[in-house]
Amino acid sequence: MSRRVLIIGTDGLRPDNVDLNRMPTYSELIKRGTLFGSFQSAFPSETRVSMTTLTTGVLPGRHGVVSNLMVVPGFGDDGYLQTGDDGDLLAYSEAMLEPFILAPTLGDRLHSHGMKLAVAASSSPGASLLWNLKHPEQVINPSSTYGVEQLRQLHVELGEVSPEESHVKRERALWATRALVEVHLRSQRNQAMVLWLSEPDASQHDYGLGSPESLEALELIDACVAEVLRAIEREALTDELDLFLISDHGHSTIRAQGSLQEHVRIGCEELGLAKQFAAAGHYVYAAPDGAIEPSLQDTAALIAWLQAKPWCEQVYVSSPEYMDLPGVLPLEQLLGPIAHRRAPLFAIQPVWSHETNEYGVPGTTMALTSSTSLRASHGTNSPYDRHAFCLAVGNSFHQGVVSDIPSGIVDIAPTVCWLIGLQEEIGFDGRVLREALRD
Ligand SMILES: [Zn+2]
């Protein structure tokens, strides 16, 4: 029998935050599957970078989605591209004369074999679309119909998302779960499926790791998974379906505030440098207006200024010409070999610690963000941000096993292809997670 695969993603779920008392369904599934104990997100440990790595099975150095907010000279009015915005993603290839994702997605690979990847997601419309950018008609998201008539009709059938009544994004998660169960699961042509839930990420950002709201979010995702399992049983799909429960990254408590943009602005002022740099997230780029190309000397001065700050742990540089600067490491260590022109000049790794927060949850970062309302975030190379959750359950996998063999989200796409019979697929940076396979 040909196998089908369902990936259930829970955004920002930290493996050490899985609470078996609050999550009876996870507790039961862990007994029945293979748990990956050393599962890593991509770098930066941001949702859309991870989403693209999941669907391509290659690292950001090759797929080109290098951060949530990208600096792309020549794109739009200002050279900034917001990857959560489906409009930006759909406009990119025509505006820039290259595909937005520079490697085939799972959707592309399946499509070329007459199969389909179907997505139901409560994440941002952009994040959901990245899974299957060339086939938006296969992506159900409560916030967008991607200009597709067929999806507009589906939204009418599924009904509006009810207003949220608690702090947790419950109604969106339940809506996406219902879309998976009532639409995607029933079609045999959907050889691979994704259900992506934006919790516990949203609650952790807003209320903190271990907060009552984030614990409520854990109960919510467990209930959504239970709902999917009931549907699988009802539709008699248990034997043909393999399941991955994953997260895209971890989370850390924020211990300091102050955006890299602001730090870079102050640094340039103090050093007497012209406005030639732009910062986004943990990256510093040449300013996208391109008026002045930063010299090696100016870039070196800014890097040295940043390295002296107490919140700066490490600077990673993209170009070989910066490799002789004191104390820097190559960015390719984090992004993989860089095969495009979208990388920043350099990236900052802020200082992190094992310190616990008020709820007793360890892991803090001196986060570089201007958003003062955030209690926790992710994106850095800290182990608390990089360590993600992965459990494989189904007839293809060993039962009750914990594997500590290094693995990561880059391995999911090659493994999904293998499971559904596309074993000749090549061009991945990741590998098939053979240690979990029974045969
Ligand atoms: Zn995420």
Encode burial over 270-283: b for 16+ CB neighbours within 10 A, e otherwise: eeebeebbbbbbbb
Calculate how far, in angstroms, residue 165's C-alpha sits from the geometric centre of ligand 1: 23
Calculate how far, in angstroms, residue 146's C-alpha sits from the geometric centre of ligand 1: 21
Categorize the per-residue pLDDT at 1 as very low, low, confident or very high, splitting at 50, 70 and 90: low
Task: Tell me the C-alpha distance between 376 and 363, whole Å.
Answer: 10
For residue 2, count CB atoms less than 10 angstroms from its CB and return exposed for 0-12, middle for 13-18, buried for 19 or more.
exposed
Calculate how far, in angstroms, residue 385's C-alpha sits from the geometric centre of ligand 1: 10
Calculate how far, in angstroms, residue 31's C-alpha sits from the geometric centre of ligand 1: 26
pLDDT at residue number 173: 97
In 10 A of CB 162, how many CB atoms? 11
Calculate how far, in angstroms, residue 247's C-alpha sits from the geometric centre of ligand 1: 7
* pLDDT tens, position by position, 363-374: 999 988 877 788
* Beta carbons of 248 and 54 less than 8 angstroms apart: yes
Calculate how far, in angstroms, residue 250's C-alpha sits from the geometric centre of ligand 1: 8
Calculate how far, in angstroms, residue 179's C-alpha sits from the geometric centre of ligand 1: 20
* pLDDT tens, position by position, 381-423: 999 999 999 999 999 999 999 999 999 999 999 999 999 999 9
Calculate how far, in angstroms, residue 198's C-alpha sits from the geometric centre of ligand 1: 7
pLDDT at residue number 352: 96
Query: To 5 degrees, how large is the angle CA 278–CA 280–CA 281?
Result: 150
Categorize the per-residue pLDDT at 298 as very low, low, confident or very high, splitting at 50, 70 and 90: very high
**What tokens does 326 get?**
């004191």
* Beta carbons of 347 and 215 less than 8 angstroms apart: no
Q: Which residues contact 256 (CB under 8 A, 6 or more apart)?
A: 311, 366, 367
Categorize the per-residue pLDDT at 289 as very low, low, confident or very high, splitting at 50, 70 and 90: confident
Calculate how far, in angstroms, residue 14's C-alpha sits from the geometric centre of ligand 1: 11
Lowest mean pLDDT among 62-66, 161-165, 228-232: 161-165
Calculate how far, in angstroms, residue 151's C-alpha sits from the geometric centre of ligand 1: 24
Calculate how far, in angstroms, residue 171's C-alpha sits from the geometric centre of ligand 1: 18
* Residue 407 CA: distances (Å) to CA of 56, 115, 332, 391, 433: 15, 27, 18, 12, 8
Calculate how far, in angstroms, residue 200's C-alpha sits from the geometric centre of ligand 1: 9
Calculate how far, in angstroms, residue 95's C-alpha sits from the geometric centre of ligand 1: 27
Calculate how far, in angstroms, residue 201's C-alpha sits from the geometric centre of ligand 1: 6
Calculate how far, in angstroms, residue 248's C-alpha sits from the geometric centre of ligand 1: 5
pLDDT at residue number 370: 75
pLDDT at residue number 428: 98
Whether the pLDDT of residue 165 is over 90: the answer is no
Is the peptide bond preceding residue 350 cis, with omega within 30 degrees of 0? no
Task: Tell me the C-alpha distance between 294 and 401, whole Å.
Answer: 52
- Report the share of the chain in percent with pLDDT over 90: 91
* Beta carbons of 305 and 270 less than 8 angstroms apart: yes
* pLDDT tens, position by position, 236-245: 999 999 999 9
Task: Tell me the C-alpha distance between 55 and 416, whole Å.
Answer: 10
- Report the share of the chain in percent with pLDDT over 70: 99
**What tokens does 342 get?**
């979208």
- Kindly report the average pLDDT of the chain as a whole number: 95
Q: Which runs of consecutive H residues, i.e. helices, occur in 199-274?
A: 201-207, 212-234, 260-271
Task: Tell me the C-alpha distance between 160 and 88, whole Å.
Answer: 25
* pLDDT tens, position by position, 189-226: 999 999 999 999 999 999 999 999 999 999 999 999 99
Whether the pLDDT of residue 257 is over 80: the answer is no
Categorize the per-residue pLDDT at 166 as very low, low, confident or very high, splitting at 50, 70 and 90: confident
Calculate how far, in angstroms, residue 199's C-alpha sits from the geometric centre of ligand 1: 9
Calculate how far, in angstroms, residue 422's C-alpha sits from the geometric centre of ligand 1: 28
